[in-house]
Amino acid sequence: MIAMEAGGARQLKVCVIGAGAMGSLFGGYLSAAGHEVWLVDTATGHADAIARQGLRIVEPNGEERVVRPRAVTDPRSVGPCDLVLVFVKSYHTRQAAASLAPLLAPSTVVLTLQNGLGNVDALAEEVPRSHLMAGTTGQGANVLGAGRIHHAGSGETLIGELDGAPTDRLRCLVEAFTDAGLHASASNNVQGVIWAKLLVNIAINPLTAILRVRNGRLLEMPEAVEIMKEAVDEGLAVASRAGVRVPLEDPWAHVRDVARRTGDNRSSMLQDVEMGRQTEIDVINGAVVREGSRLGVATPVNLALMHLVKCLEQIPLISCLRA
Ligand code: PAF
């Protein structure tokens, strides 16, 4: 397992699978903190730009800095790692999982901080569960161009073992992330943490994508707020029927608070729609609909949001922009 040393975590060899905005942000911060970081991204332009001139991170205060992780397009060139950080879009998780074997040593941790439900199970199809850890992050980022990202805002990263155990490797990762400036905490209820993030995503992501607005704008429209609240209530009913303990005192207040704190963000789903990319709707509202139907809980609002986003995915980008 990842070793703790006196004075904290040793230098880790880290491979980030999926170096979009969030993967690049985490890889960039860990690299700046002295860890050996490899970013793997199939978009050759981004990987080439980072390999040539470093990764440029524009911080929330406008300052720009350059960090120098390695960047490649094929994980086979990396070799075994201490930590594999999975940040691909959820519909690529299975494919990413199948490429991880060359990165795994007996002690390698594979950590997913992806949005949505089902990523752990998709990874577990190829990677023994003993390697897997999961969590969520409140960091926000977007890609400005090849080799350049915008750090839109900081937020807490929560990480946990699948069985909730307080292991040394968990402490080590929390410490490595926090030392690198990515404020992190350990959780003994990672399933609940993933659901808590899911409640945020089912309320904010589809509506920002459908209405083409930043997160904070939703709160200024009473009709949007009503839909958000209904989607969250359905999500909570499904979580409760599934026996998940969502670690939030007031989930609806939390969702509103995230929308307010990330008010200037363009949600990941809005970014996907604007770029003409497939969205993660299937593992966000789609996951609530699927779980609801499995457990006999009605989820009409989540179903409607899912259908609307699926319609958006079918409208070519140019007509979207004209609409
Ligand atoms: O997917 C996203 O964009 C983020 O998870 C969140 C929290 C909605 C902030 O933009």
Domain spans of the chain? 13-188, 192-317
Model pTM score: 0.93
Name the active-site residue from 13, 197, 229, 310: 197
Mean pLDDT score, 280-291:
98
Q: Is the pLDDT of residue 172 over 80?
A: yes
Residue 285: predicted pLDDT = 98
Residue found under tokens 């009913």 = 237
CA atoms within 13 A on the CB side of 225: 12
CA distance linking residue 170 with residue 291, whole number of Å: 29
| 205 ligand 1 Cβ < 6 A | yes
The reply to whether domains 13-188 and 192-317 share a CATH topology is no
Specify whether the CB–CB gap between 14 and 36 falls below 8 A.
Answer: yes
Residue 7 predicted with pLDDT over 80: no
Q: Kindly state if the Cβ of 67 falls inside 6 Å of ligand 1.
A: no
Indicate the pLDDT class of residue 319, thresholds 50, 70 and 90: low
CATH class of the domain at 13-188? alpha beta
Q: Which CATH architecture has domain 192-317?
A: Orthogonal Bundle (1.10)
Give residue 18's pLDDT band: very low, low, confident or very high (50, 70, 90).
very high
CB-ligand 1 contact for 203 (6 Å cutoff): no
End-to-end CA distance of the chain: 53
Ligand 1 atom, smallest distance to 258 CA: 7
Banded model confidence at residue 73, pLDDT cuts 50, 70, 90? very high
pLDDT beyond 60 at 3: no
Q: Which atom of ligand 1 is nearest to the CA of 215?
A: 10
Ligand 1 centroid to 8 CA: how many Å?
Answer: 31
197 is annotated as an active-site residue: yes
Q: Over the stretch 126-145, which tens digit does the pLDDT of each residue have?
A: 999 999 999 999 998 989 99
Q: Around Cβ 183, how many Cβ atoms within 10 Å?
A: 15
Over residues 222-246, the pLDDT tens digits come to: 999 999 999 999 999 999 999 999 9
pLDDT for 44 equals 79
pLDDT (mean) for 277-286: 97
Specify the ligand 1 atom closest to the Cα of 271.
3
Residues 32-45: pLDDT tens digits? 999 999 999 988 79
Mean of the per-residue pLDDT values of the chain:
94
> Which of 149, 197, 200 gets mutated to test ligand 1 (max ligand atoms within 8 A of its CB)?
200
Task: Judge if the beta carbon of residue 198 lies within 6 A of ligand 1.
Answer: no
Phi first, then psi: what are they for 163, rounded to 5°? -95, 10
Contacts of 12 (CB under 8 A, 6+ apart): 2, 30, 35, 36, 81, 82, 83, 176
Q: Which of 90, 232, 264, 268 to mutate to test the pocket of ligand 1 (most atoms within 8 A of CB)?
A: 268
- For residue 200 and ligand 1, the question of a CB distance below 6 A is answered with yes
